């Protein structure tokens, strides 16, 4: 996608994520830590975000960041950007397996999806663990490719989010 006046390269769009964005006092240094302690407050560090990456080969990727389910996934991420690859965070403060699968199946509807940030050991020797949240997510996703991120492996996708290598 090239817009008028846009240079060649990757286009990056910032999108909303629905997630609190506070840092615990234990991670803040003084004097701010001392200021927050009497009222048991945390430090607010700005809006939570996700990103849309439009690559020059036509691949459109949604990086969810830590987010809950939200209507923007259907109206903006799918409806406006028409992403074809979604990297969906699943964690304690983000979507769980069922929610992430619903987002992929019903809201975003990409050609392929990569689960991430599940805060668990999802694989052993490159094979998915049968009792993991990631396995539950994979089993719930319908009609699209699911690719597991593995340490040290780089995945490459074509313009339709079909994995060309590393999957």
Give the structural domain span for 127: 11-17+48-165
d(Cα 43, Cα 52) in Å, to the nearest integer?
A: 27
Q: What angle do CA 54, 105, 131 make, to 5 degrees?
A: 110
- Per-residue confidence (pLDDT) for residue 98, from 0 to 100: 96
Name which of 111, 84, 155 is nearest 163 in CA terms.
Answer: 155
Q: Any idea what the CATH number is for the domain that residue 68 is in?
A: 3.60.15.10
d(Cα 63, Cα 74) in Å, to the nearest integer?
A: 15
d(Cα 127, Cα 43) in Å, to the nearest integer?
A: 39
pLDDT tens sequence for the chain (167 residues):
344 445 577 999 999 988 777 777 788 888 888 887 888 777 777 788 999 999 999 999 999 998 999 999 999 999 999 999 999 999 777 899 999 999 999 999 999 999 998 777 888 888 888 998 999 999 999 999 999 988 889 999 999 999 999 98
Name which of 130, 128, 129, 160 is nearest 147 in CA terms.
Answer: 128
- Per-residue confidence (pLDDT) for residue 7, from 0 to 100: 55
Distance of CA 140 to the CA centre of its chain: 17
Q: What is the SS3 assignment for 116? A: strand
Q: Is residue 69 part of a domain?
A: yes
- Per-residue confidence (pLDDT) for residue 19, from 0 to 100: 72
Q: CB-based contacts of 136: which residues, under 8 Å, 6+ apart?
A: 97, 98
Q: Is residue 57 part of a domain?
A: yes
Q: Is residue 29 part of a domain?
A: no
Phi/psi for 128 (5° steps) reads -65, 140
What pTM was computed for the model? 0.84
Q: Is residue 32 part of a domain?
A: no
- Per-residue confidence (pLDDT) for residue 28, from 0 to 100: 81
Q: Is residue 150 part of a domain?
A: yes
Q: Is residue 142 part of a domain?
A: yes
- Per-residue confidence (pLDDT) for residue 135, from 0 to 100: 94
Name which of 71, 143, 69, 79 is nearest 113 in CA terms.
Answer: 143
- Give the H/E segment covering residue 112: strand 112-116
- Per-residue confidence (pLDDT) for residue 48, from 0 to 100: 83
- Per-residue confidence (pLDDT) for residue 5, from 0 to 100: 46
Phi/psi for 50 (5° steps) reads -125, 175
d(Cα 94, Cα 82) in Å, to the nearest integer?
A: 22
Q: Is residue 39 part of a domain?
A: no
Q: Is residue 58 part of a domain?
A: yes
């Amino acid at each position: 996608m090239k817009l008028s006046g846009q240079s060649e390269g990757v286009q990056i769009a910032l999108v909303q994520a629905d997630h609190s964005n506070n840092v615990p006092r234990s991670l803040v240094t003084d004097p701010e830590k001392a200021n927050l302690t009497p009222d048991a407050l945390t430090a607010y560090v700005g809006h939570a975000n996700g990103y849309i990456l439009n690559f020059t080969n036509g691949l459109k990727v949604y990086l969810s960041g830590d987010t809950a389910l939200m209507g923007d996934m259907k109206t903006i991420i799918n409806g406006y950007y028409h992403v074809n690859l979604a990297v969906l965070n699943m964690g304690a403060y983000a979507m769980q397996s069922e929610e992430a699968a619903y987002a992929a199946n019903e809201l975003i509807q990409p050609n392929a999806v990569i689960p991430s940030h599940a805060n668990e050991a999802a694989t052993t020797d490159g094979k998915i663990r049968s009792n993991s949240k990631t396995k539950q997510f994979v089993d719930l996703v319908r009609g699209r490719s699911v690719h597991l991120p593995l340490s040290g492996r780089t995945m490459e996708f074509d313009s339709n989010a079909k994995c060309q290598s590393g999957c």
